[in-house]
Structure 1
Amino acid sequence: MPDLRAVALGVGAWIGALLVLLLPGRVALATVLVLVVACVGLMLGRTMALAWLGPLAALVAVAGVAALQQTVVATSPLARLADDGAVVTLRLATTSDVRVVAGQYGDLQIARATVSRVEGRGTAWTLDAPVVLMAGEDWPRLPLGTTLETTARLVPADDGVAALVRPMGDPRVVAEPDVWWDAATAVRRSVRAAVAGRDVDARELVPALVVGDDGGMASDLADDFRTTGLTHLLAVSGSNLTIVVGAVIILGRSLGVRGRLLHVLAALGIAGFVLTARTEPSVVRAAAMGTVALIGMGTNGRSRGTRCLGVAVLVLLLLWPRLATTAGFALSAMATAGILLLAPVWRDALMRWTPRWVAEAVSVPLAAQVACTPVVAGLSGQVSLVAVGANLLAAPAVAPATVLGLSGGLIGLLWAPIGVVVAAPAAWSAGWIIAVARWGADIPTAAVDWGTGPLAMVGLTALCLLSVPLAPRVLGRPGSTLACTGLLVVVMLVRPPSPGWPPDGWALAMCDVGQGDGLVLRSGPRSAVVVDVGPDPALMDACLDRLRVTSVPLVVLTHFHADHVDGMAGLLEGRDVGAIESTGLLEPAGGVRVVEEAAGRDPGIAAYGETRRFGQVTLQTVWPRPGAGGGGAGESEPNNASVVLVAEVEGIRALLTGDVEPSAQRAMSRDLAGLQVDVLKVPHHGSRHQDVDWLTSLGARLALVSVGEDNDYGHPAADLLAALAGSGARVWRTDLSGDVAVVVRDGEVGVVTRR
């Protein structure tokens, strides 16, 4: 039997961190005090075993550290200066690699850093405070470990950092990175160089497998990995370390290393892995869990592994209490616990009628998946049905891709051509993993929508707990195991109907495609005009499947930004598609290429002023007017060149606005004076930059906002929503309601949603 006392320490530590981080300060303090007093009283009354003293001590210790860290950050001079929006001079050292993210007005460089000196408002402070550095795309990209000085504006921040640093000038480098950072960067660069000549997806997956470097991974492939439960391969995880350090141990044994020297070699392997993958809290967490997994593989591994798991959780939370609220920490801890506690029992049940290697291959991913399912569903709202099978199929290729990819990078430091040769099988192995992810995601019911509400999560957690005692009984008999497997295969291969969807009388649907647009106008049975296709082919394809659309006589792409055109391949999947039209401004060029490559032809230009009919749909193009300018200062020219349509379907008049910005809206208010519509597709996902007077003058009864959940742009703007509601419009948003369908029944207009 595993020793669960150490696991209880980890659970106590986790609860202590969550109490402080999630509850208001005074409530958290009162809760901790009540727990301490109650437990001490019960112990003195001899109604509680002394064994509870350890978890209680862990809870109090971690809660104290978390409270102390929050207090230190909140009272830092940086935090006070940030509250005032002060401009200061900083000395700081970067503690993470630069990550480039798309901002509303251009790309942003994001990195974590530690400030050692700040000077502002006539005072200088020496300190040690964490910050987030957010610079423009033109700011020099400095390597991890660089110490620099810069003038910056401070902005208030959360997430455990003292401030958000917005540089206002070029930095002055004070000290270059230490030699070990240079060495780690050289290894990462060499791994990429060793597979640079391979398929575009494979050359991005190999660095992700080796050191979690997934910066160039295509978004659609990352989505396929999420759907198939393979996301853990794209980030630094315990499995990465287990494979790399395991290979180091095997190599050491083959060279005659034994005893304590082997432990030293393993420790050096762990240290090297952490440096190469970066010494961020998430990497150290992955290293700790990987070390626990390695211990679990040794003699008496189950007992020793569970003890180490509890201690690892306690130590990690004492160092970084905020890990308790991160998904990566929860997934790592739960997966490790599942492998240590559940997999051996389920393996023994399977071994009654299968070879040991089969039993272990099935029980390990199954246990990890069951343990992680509530967390994954809480994050994604889905339960993957293909995860176990996908992990089984991908598993044989993971170790070769990881070990040979790293070996190719290391050898490439000495002789690049040999490194390329060694890394070639790593790229082939990565290709197999990619094929598994693509194949699994294309299964009709690869995942089922579950929801993230309290009842849904409690029910799912209860089902997972129920599987713990039931699984050995099912797995111990070939008949029950094969029957359950067959039932699962049938469920995956047959796409279930969506009850009540599409709704009767639907005329227009706004697809939930995330942060983008995808509108469908019903032109006939199984036929529709599509306006924009969103950023994700899979999401657009799935929405059209749900609407049972098999024929698309016209596709209008309002402009070529990725959130409007990157889903083109999904629309073309298995459908008859007629004309494809867009705006005359062929920018950005990347979006134009996406459309041309997916469709195999150039899109036509939507003719201004032309009125056409497609079945039940009548369309008039009302923008861009020939000769119209590019827009005002700070506005996007491609946005203002969006094709704007007035559509009529089943007696409903709708204005479809693309992403036009205020100057274009003002021009249309003059061109279309007196225009009244029933439905308004709100421009630019509800951005705050609008001609509100015009939008509210249209008399729309329904305002549709296509917007991604938890997007980084602040869409939709609260003041715009209030103005629309004040004008009498009912606002519907895809981030809250999912697919939104406008229906006409008995002459009345209504809305039906599908979440």
Structure 2
Amino acid sequence: MPDLRALALGAGAWVGALLVLLLPGWVALVAVCTVVLVVAGGARGRRWSAAWLGPVAALAAVAGIATLQQTLVETSPLTGLADDGAVVSVRLQVTSDVRVVAGQYGDLQVAQARVQRVEGRGRAWHLDAPVVLMASADWPRFALGTAVETTARLVPAEDDVAALVRPTGEPRVVAEPDVWWDAAAAVRRSVRAAVAGRDADARELVPALVVGDDGGLDPALADDFRTTGLTHLLAVSGTNLTLVVGFLLVLGRWLGVRGRWLYVLAAVGIAGFVMTARAEPSVVRAAAMGTVALVGMARNGRSRGTRGLGVAVLGLLLLWPRLAVTAGFALSVLATAGILLLAPVWRDALMRWTPRWVAEAVSVPLAAQVACTPVVAALSGQVSLVAVGANLLAAPAVAPATVLGLAGGLLGLAWSPLGVLAAAPAAWSAQWIIAVARWGADVPTAAVDWGTGPAPLVLLTLLCTASVPLAPRVLRRPGSTLACTGLLVVVMLVRPPSPGWPPTGWVFAVCDVGQGDGLVLRAGEHAAVVVDAGPDPETMDACLDRLEVRSVPLLVLTHFHADHVDGVAGVLEGREVAAIEGSALLEPAAGVQEVESAFGRHAALSSYGMTRRVGGVTLQAVWPRPDGTGGDPSESAPNNASVVLVAEVAGLRILLTGDVEPSAQAALARDLAGLRVDVLKVPHHGSRHQDLDWLTSLGARLAVVSVGEGNDYGHPAPDLLLALSAAGARVWRTDTAGDVVVVVRDGEVGVVTRG
């Protein structure tokens, strides 16, 4: 039987952390004190069982530590200096690997660090405070564990760090990484070297499976993993540790290790795994969940496993209370709980008519998926229909890919050819997992849009809860199991229509393609002129499917940046594209190559000044000028070479501006003096660099910003949105509204969104 008392301890700790982290300070204090007093009073008066005291003690302890940590960060000298934007001299130690992110003015290096000394405003402090280091791309990249001194500007930060550190001077290394960090880095490099000669995706997936090193993975492949519910394979998870340490224990037994020495071997394996994967809170969390899984495999594993889960949750939150509000922690805990509590019952039901190995293979991913579904939906707005099947198909390849990938890295330290030989099956296994992810993502209805609002999430949680008692009744009979499976297969293979979509009278659609442009002008029944294709083929294809566009008489690519052309294959998916036109400036080369690879031909040059009719769409290209003048050389040349179109559909005049920047906009204002439009596609995703006088003079009733949620560029700029609204335009954004569709019904213009 599961030990529910330990689970109650973990639940109490989790609630304590949530109260402090999600509620204002005084409200959290009142809530914690009320719970403690009520339960203590109830236990003394014997109205409550004394069993409540343990969870409440855990709640109070974690709440107290969370409050203390928040107080230490808020009262840190770094926080005060950051509020003033001070330039200081700091000594800090890098505590995570550096990752490169796109910033508004170029790439940035981002890493976690701890400040050990800070000097500024005439004072110096010795301390130990967490910060985020955010340096320019040309700043030296330091290995984890390196201590450096530099001058930097401090910027206020969020969450549990005291400041953002923006270096302004050259760094000086004052301490190299400790030997164990060097050893861990050597293993990571060796794992990569062992599969360096393999297929591009396989050589990135193997390090991700072994130590969570997924920095070079193709974003499109990562999306396929998300769609198929295989994302847990790309990050350090309990599964990684279970496989690695489990293999180590098997090897130890084979070599004659017995008794308590097996525990020592397991402890060494866990420590080695944490060091190699990086000793960050997320990795320690994964290690704890993996240890729980190992305990669950032992004799009386269900009882020991649930006890271990409760203790692990309590221990982790005592160390890092902020884990309580991270998605990774919630998914790890829920998946482990589902496997321990639900899987055995569902396995026993299936064993009435299937072999044990089949029952376990089905029940484990099914239980984990059901337990995690509400959280996954809250994060992605989708419910995957292929997740269980994809995990079933991928499961046999996960262990060899992980274990042999690590073996290849370790053996490669001694002799690289031996490492390459050992890692070869790991790469083959990774290729199978990749094939499963791509196959699953290509299923017509691999996932259904569910939404992230309170009502749909509550409904989904109730459905998952109802499945707990219902699933064994379904699974114990072959007829009901096969009928449900068949129904699921039919739903997956037939793409359902979107109710009420496309909206009646639609004339212009701005597809929600993330940080990019994907615009559709209705040219007739099931036909449309498409302007730009966004950064992702699947997203663009899905939007055109929803609009029931089956033919594209004309595709115009305003310029060749990836966020406008990388989705061209999605426009071609199942559709005839009669003509393709683009900008005269064939830069960047990667975008031009992407278009040529997809279409097998060059894009024709868009004809400046020519007015033509394509079905129900009238188009005129008004930019760029044939002589190439009008753009400031200090601005982005591809952006300023964007094809700008004035379109008219159903009497509605629409201005499509690509990514033209202020100098080109000013030139357009002179070339098109007095231009008035009904709808404006805001240039460059709402960047703050705009000619506001021109944009507000257009008289647009509607302005649409095609922009990605949570982008790193600060798009759209608040000042721009305020100026457009003040000029009388209703502003719509794809990051908050989803697809934005302009409709004309009975002479009236309106907007319909699909969030």
**TM-score surpassing 0.5?**
yes
Counterpart residue type for residue 709 of structure 2: E
Give the conservation status (yes or no) of the 8 Å contact 2:445–2:493. yes
SS of residue paired to 2:13? helix
Give the conservation status (yes or no) of the 8 Å contact 1:397–1:430. yes
Counterpart residue type for residue 441 of structure 1: A
Residue 530 of structure 1: CA displacement? Answer: 0.7
Alignment of 1:687-726 (within 5 A): 687-726=687-726
Q: Deviations over 1:625-663 (max 9, x none)?
A: 234458448632222221111111111110001111111
Alignment of 1:433-452 (within 5 A): 433-452=433-452
Give the conservation status (yes or no) of the 8 Å contact 2:507–2:649. yes
Give the conservation status (yes or no) of the 8 Å contact 2:90–2:152. yes
Which whole-Å CA distance do the structure 2 matches of 1:614 and 1:414 have between them?
Answer: 66
1:559 has 2:554 as partner:
no
1:408 has 2:403 as partner:
no
Which whole-Å CA distance do the structure 1 matches of 2:105 and 2:626 have between them?
Answer: 26
Give the conservation status (yes or no) of the 8 Å contact 1:528–1:552. yes
Which whole-Å CA distance do the structure 1 matches of 2:356 and 2:368 have between them?
Answer: 18
- Aligned twin of 2:244: 244
TM-score (norm 1): 0.99
Give the conservation status (yes or no) of the 8 Å contact 1:630–1:637. no
Give the conservation status (yes or no) of the 8 Å contact 1:630–1:641. no
SS of residue paired to 1:197? coil
Residue 605 of structure 1: CA displacement? Answer: 2.1
Residue 587 of structure 1: CA displacement? Answer: 2.1
Q: Deviations over 1:48-82 (max 9, x none)?
A: 10100010001010000001001001111111000
Give the conservation status (yes or no) of the 8 Å contact 2:104–2:714. no
Give the conservation status (yes or no) of the 8 Å contact 1:386–1:446. yes
Alignment of 1:656-735 (within 5 A): 656-735=656-735
- Aligned twin of 2:168: 168
Counterpart residue type for residue 729 of structure 1: A
Give the conservation status (yes or no) of the 8 Å contact 1:407–1:423. yes
Residue 215 of structure 1: CA displacement? Answer: 0.4
Unaligned runs of 5+ in 1: none
Counterpart residue type for residue 73 of structure 1: V
Which whole-Å CA distance do the structure 2 matches of 1:253 and 1:223 have between them?
Answer: 40
SS of residue paired to 2:579? strand
Counterpart residue type for residue 605 of structure 1: L
- Aligned twin of 2:196: 196
Alignment of 1:265-280 (within 5 A): 265-280=265-280
Which whole-Å CA distance do the structure 2 matches of 1:203 and 1:630 have between them?
Answer: 46
Which whole-Å CA distance do the structure 1 matches of 2:630 and 2:102 have between them?
Answer: 22
Residue 692 of structure 1: CA displacement? Answer: 1.2
Which whole-Å CA distance do the structure 1 matches of 2:631 and 2:240 have between them?
Answer: 50
Counterpart residue type for residue 422 of structure 1: A
Which whole-Å CA distance do the structure 2 matches of 1:398 and 1:607 have between them?
Answer: 53
Q: Deviations over 1:383-415 (max 9, x none)?
A: 101000000000000001111111111111111
- After superposing the two structures, state which structure 1 stretch, 654-663 or 324-333, moved more: 654-663
Q: Deviations over 1:553-612 (max 9, x none)?
A: 211111122211111111111111122222122222222222222222222222222222
SS of residue paired to 1:182? helix
Which whole-Å CA distance do the structure 2 matches of 1:672 and 1:122 have between them?
Answer: 57
Counterpart residue type for residue 300 of structure 1: N
Q: How high is the sequence identity, in percent, across the aligned residues?
A: 80
SS of residue paired to 2:578? strand
SS of residue paired to 2:118? strand
Counterpart residue type for residue 715 of structure 2: H
SS of residue paired to 2:466? helix
SS of residue paired to 1:417? helix
- Aligned twin of 1:33: 33
Which whole-Å CA distance do the structure 1 matches of 2:248 and 2:189 have between them?
Answer: 21
Counterpart residue type for residue 444 of structure 1: P
Alignment of 1:160-559 (within 5 A): 160-559=160-559
- Aligned twin of 1:132: 132
Which whole-Å CA distance do the structure 2 matches of 1:633 and 1:529 have between them?
Answer: 31
Q: Deviations over 1:607-630 (max 9, x none)?
A: 222222211111111111234458
Residues 1:250 and 1:292: Cα distance change in structure 2 (over 3 Å)? same
1:60 has 2:94 as partner:
no
Q: Deviations over 1:16-62 (max 9, x none)?
A: 11111111111111111111111112112211101000100010100
- Aligned twin of 2:112: 112
Which whole-Å CA distance do the structure 2 matches of 1:384 and 1:630 have between them?
Answer: 49
1:748 has 2:752 as partner:
no
SS of residue paired to 2:591? helix
Which whole-Å CA distance do the structure 2 matches of 1:446 and 1:731 have between them?
Answer: 33
Q: Deviations over 1:264-283 (max 9, x none)?
A: 11111111111110000000
SS of residue paired to 1:72? helix
Which whole-Å CA distance do the structure 2 matches of 1:65 and 1:99 have between them?
Answer: 30
Which whole-Å CA distance do the structure 1 matches of 2:626 and 2:123 have between them?
Answer: 58
SS of residue paired to 1:107? strand
SS of residue paired to 1:113? strand
Give the conservation status (yes or no) of the 8 Å contact 2:630–2:667. no
Q: Give the length in aligned residue pairs.
A: 755
Counterpart residue type for residue 117 of structure 1: R
Q: Deviations over 1:700-739 (max 9, x none)?
A: 1111111112222222222211221121111111122211
- After superposing the two structures, state which structure 1 stretch, 675-684 or 34-43, moved more: 34-43
Which whole-Å CA distance do the structure 2 matches of 1:197 and 1:568 have between them?
Answer: 30
SS of residue paired to 1:174? strand
Which whole-Å CA distance do the structure 2 matches of 1:317 and 1:594 have between them?
Answer: 47
SS of residue paired to 1:307? helix
Give the conservation status (yes or no) of the 8 Å contact 1:91–1:148. yes
Counterpart residue type for residue 646 of structure 1: V
Which whole-Å CA distance do the structure 2 matches of 1:749 and 1:497 have between them?
Answer: 25
Which whole-Å CA distance do the structure 2 matches of 1:657 and 1:117 have between them?
Answer: 50
- Aligned twin of 2:640: 640
- Aligned twin of 1:44: 44
SS of residue paired to 2:432? helix
Give the conservation status (yes or no) of the 8 Å contact 1:608–1:625. yes
Which whole-Å CA distance do the structure 1 matches of 2:597 and 2:169 have between them?
Answer: 41
Give the conservation status (yes or no) of the 8 Å contact 2:385–2:446. yes
SS of residue paired to 2:68? helix
- Aligned twin of 1:70: 70
Q: Deviations over 1:452-497 (max 9, x none)?
A: 1111111111111111111111111111111111111111111111
- After superposing the two structures, state which structure 1 stretch, 358-367 or 247-256, moved more: 247-256
Which whole-Å CA distance do the structure 2 matches of 1:132 and 1:736 have between them?
Answer: 28
Give the conservation status (yes or no) of the 8 Å contact 2:349–2:476. yes
- Aligned twin of 1:602: 602
SS of residue paired to 2:584? coil
- Aligned twin of 1:148: 148
Which whole-Å CA distance do the structure 2 matches of 1:153 and 1:533 have between them?
Answer: 40
TM-score (norm 2): 0.99
Counterpart residue type for residue 625 of structure 1: R
Which whole-Å CA distance do the structure 2 matches of 1:19 and 1:146 have between them?
Answer: 36
Counterpart residue type for residue 172 of structure 2: R
- Aligned twin of 2:92: 92
Residues 1:443 and 1:608: Cα distance change in structure 2 (over 3 Å)? same
SS of residue paired to 2:676? coil
Computed over aligned residues only, the root mean square deviation of the Cα atoms, in angstroms, reads 1.1
Which whole-Å CA distance do the structure 1 matches of 2:339 and 2:118 have between them?
Answer: 47
Which whole-Å CA distance do the structure 2 matches of 1:103 and 1:560 have between them?
Answer: 20
